[in-house]
Chains A and B, each alone.
Chain A
Amino acid sequence: MRWGMLIDLRKCVGCHACTIACQNENNLPLALRYCKIFKVGPEGEYPNLTSYNIPIACMHCAEAPCVDGCPSGASHRRLDGIVAINSDKCVGCQFCMLVCPYGVRHMNKKTGAVEKCTLCFSRLEQGEVTRCVETCQLKARNVGDLDDPNSEIVRLVRKDNAQPLYAHLGTKPSIYYIMP
């Protein structure tokens, strides 16, 4: 079992619904966003242009530098593949933020602990999809089991040759992207 997500950049329009839905779902302070959307472009000169949007959150890496680098054992990889943080154990040293190549971990100044996308594991455990998948009007996101060859997500990853971001870093992320 390895939970993963597929994000189709051909579909994302950068509306930020996932960003805000995630903030609400996790009751986050205003300045804290687990999921951010970056607009790339428009590149080129008018009118020869390209542009796309890319949502970025925790990549839930199988070889996660944040887990390896956590001195207190707060950051850990669950049996279902999700990288999670036990906030009771977090001492707020922020070393994980330094070693994460994706810059997706955030200090919650209120609690003094580091936080990030949980892949809504409590929702997944109840048979629901993640909040970002649920809210996406463009149906640009898909969540599923990357270890199950018959799952929808594996089928889609193969069909459109989806790739993780910065795969060359070797952290084996569980978030795949279909490039536009």
Chain B
Amino acid sequence: MSEVKKVACHFCHMNCGMLASVENGVITKVTGDPEHPFNQGAQCPRGVSALDHLNHPNRLNYPLKQVGKRGSGQFERVSWEEALDGIAARLTELKNTYGAETLSSLGGTNRTDDFARRRFFNLFGSPNIAHTAPVCWIPNFLIEAASYGWAAFDPEIMNSRCVVIWGHNPAVSYLPEMRGLLQAKANGTKIIVIDPVFSETAAKADLWLPIRPGADNALALAWLNVIIEEGLYDFEFVNEWTVGFEELSERIEEYTPEWAAEKTGISAELIREAAQIYAAAKPACIQWGVATDQFGRGSSAGAQARAALRVICGNLDVPGGDVMPGPHPDFITDWEMELNDLLSEEQRAKQLGADKFKLNTWPGYQILTDNMVRVWGKSIPAEWFCEANAPVLFRSMVSSKPYPVKACIVLANNPLISYANSKLVYQALKSLDLLVVMDYWMTPSALLADYVLPAASWLERPVMTTTYGVSDWLIASERAIEPMFERKTDVDFWREIGCRLGQAEYWPWKSDEEVFKYRLEPIGLDVETYEEFVQCYRMAFAPREYRKYQERGLATPSGKVELKSSILEKLGYDPLPHYVEPPFSSEAKPELADDYPLTLIAGGGFMPFFHSEHREITRIRLMKPYPRVAINPVLADKFGIKATDWVWIETPTGRIKQKALITNAVAPDVVQAERGWWFPEKALIDPELMGAFESNINVCLDDDPNTCDEACGSWCTRAVMCRISKAEGED
């Protein structure tokens, strides 16, 4: 029997639509779905390797239990029954000894149905879930939410006259978005790229602003200064729909283009000209870029400035501007699935980091939720937006302060590679009494686990795309085949472990499809099954409406856009945009500048990998077989470094080596290291851990909570002082 299944790629969270040809239960071909709005039939290098991923000999196929010393690599195959019973028994024991908050969870980027993770945790009684969320979108989203009640994260590039790509390189990370950008450019839209690196996207821009790493906040403040001083803002919108404009105007007086020129390395004339282009183009939009979440201290302050730019230029929720979707009106959202009400006040108060980082933890989340429910009827999910702070969590694992964190369930994440301060993460994971990892592969982090569980990938599970639960559209995709071997979906895992811990009444669904069918029901379509919805409809886009604030008001305490945010003020933060120097720059720590004269950029995606993934797939790996650090030819000459030489990169926190990529794309005093590197081909034993500490740039990054973003706890991966040297001989 031969059939075509409508599936969704999950090698990044774009979730491009794919068609899988299935013959007698075996997938023979995976191609892009021409009817899918994102990829329109296309695939990236990862997508075209779907079958290599599905059938890879290194995939985890059965549950494993560590039988030797942790990290010894001595695993024994066990049944799911045995694994789940064992985990449930240990969790019960630990909860009785230390309290529910002793259980934590770590996640990476969206690869899972995390309403299930949160549902389990709320029922179990622990507030301690963490993702890499603070360095990916969440600060920007929450600052926008505090200012205007949701994030305006859906820029209508095709109808825009000017698009600002700020700290973002869609040409390697979001190819469908890049296609739209180039189409818009061909239609006359001006593309401004702000990036210290001459990126693939910068190469296609009308205007590239080569900014000094970490100076983005200064640039945004100077744009505000130019636009307000020169009267280029939207008077009508500012008068009718905002509060705090006067205070904003006073605040930004000091942030002149001349002041910013010194910080950004961009001339005052160019800063002025770029601001004028942006302000004069109506409508215009500012695309979110992940770099702006990764400055550590000051990440939120920068987001405040960009939010204000959108607002005063009149681009908020207008056609061709920064459109603010709001929640899907009918579909049962992640937030509704999470059962946050079942987590007691007492347990919420124990959330790690909530006393320090208040915007993306319970104190701020509760205020945001109250406002959102008033206006939208629904809030954003607690997953991603209301989490324990990972740097604080790791420290609690090591020190048992303020209380012992003894267990962690890691799902869709390789924390040794993807969180800053890898050596501390290592210590933290080794301090646990119970570590469970569910993944596609044996990873360095999984090697340290007591139980390693095999995860089903996107061809083996249905995928529902709702952009972290905050979009007003959904795209539904089915599974092509049942999970191979004994792989399971994360929803299955949480349900089965939950049922063993007395949560059975809250898990009435037998499969992912049953859950999704339940969530779709309020849309009111006449379908018998989830698969029928996928085959007949697949998508549900809420009707696009603009300027929704005119009818609803805005989901802020004043009902207007708050240029001076009362929510931030209430939480004890500066309610207005302001300048903060990134924590590891030469300006912040001048005493180290002589020893560490270079500036490290430790982020940035690159094809064909996604975060720490896909190093196992040979065709993909051969495109970029080893980690590369970008070095300007002038700098390389100074150190006698030639192309592909191994180079040590060193900060006060640690050192690693990568191979030299000699390129003019970076300035002579800046190096950009690739992130996410480990080597699946290396020794599967502690402490080598598949080369987890050899080329992984997170070894060099500090995550000291005092250097993290004040409101959201983001750690710093940009503008970090460093030095390099050529690695000699066996070094």
Contact = CB atoms under 8 A, between A and B. Distances in A.
Please determine whether chains A and B interact with each other in the same assembly: yes
Interface of A: 10-11, 13-17, 19-21, 23-24, 30-31, 41-47, 49-52, 134-139
Contacts of A51: 198, 200, 203, 665
B45 A15 contact: yes
Given A42-B665, A44-B664, A16 B198 contact: no
B347 interface: no
A17 B666 contact: no
Given A21-B43, A46-B666, A138-B42, 9 more contacts: A13-B178, A16-B623, A20-B619, A42-B665, A47-B208, A50-B203, A51-B198, A134-B42, A137-B179
B48 A47 contact: no
Nearest to B623: A16
B404 interface: no
A17 B44 CA distance: 5
A93 B364 CA distance: 73
Contact of A20 (B45, B171, B198): B45
**Interface residues of A, dominant DSSP:** mixed
A46 B198 contact: yes
Contacts of B668: 46
Contact of A49 (B175, B182, B198, B201): B198
B49 A137 contact: no
Contact of A46 (B43, B45, B632): B632
Interface in B605-644: 607-608, 618-620, 622-623, 632
A14 B200 contact: yes
Interface of B: 31-32, 39-45, 47-49, 51, 171-172, 175-176, 178-179, 182, 198, 200-201, 203-204, 208, 210, 607-608, 618-620, 622-623, 632, 663-668
Contacts, number: 110
30 contacts: A10-B204, A13-B200, A14-B607, A15-B175, A16-B45, A16-B608, A17-B42, A17-B44, A20-B48, A20-B608, A20-B619, A21-B43, A23-B619, A24-B51, A30-B619, A41-B203, A42-B203, A42-B663, A42-B664, A42-B665, A44-B664, A45-B664, A46-B198, A46-B668, A47-B667, A51-B198, A135-B42, A137-B42, A137-B176, A139-B179
Contacts of B666: 46
Contacts of A13: 171-172, 175, 178, 200-201, 204
B15 to A, nearest CB: 14
A31 B89 CA distance: 50
A30 B664 contact: no
A135 B210 contact: no
B664 A137 contact: no
A135 to B, nearest CB: 5
B570 to A, nearest CB: 42
Contacts of A134: 31-32, 41-42
B670 to A, nearest CB: 9
Nearest to A28: B619
Closest 3 CB pairs of A and B: A137-B175, A47-B210, A13-B171
B41 A46 contact: no
B619 A137 contact: no
B626 to A, nearest CB: 16
Contact of B178 (A19, A20, A24, A137): A137
B180 to A, nearest CB: 10
Contacts of A138: 42, 175, 178-179, 182
A45 to B, nearest CB: 6
B32 A135 contact: yes
Nearest to A21: B48
The listed residue with most B CB atoms (<10 A of its CB), out of A19, A23, A51, is A51
B198 A17 contact: no
The listed residue with most B CB atoms (<10 A of its CB), out of A11, A23, A137, is A137
B607 A49 contact: no
A15 B203 contact: no
Given A10-B182, A49-B664, A137 B44 contact: yes
B31 A20 contact: no
A17 B665 contact: no
The listed residue with most B CB atoms (<10 A of its CB), out of A10, A24, A47, A52, is A47
A45 B634 CA distance: 10
Contacts of B182: 10-11, 138
Contacts of B203: 41-42, 49-52
B664 A17 contact: no
Nearest to A37: B623
B43 A135 contact: yes
Contacts of B664: 41-46, 49
Contacts of A44: 664
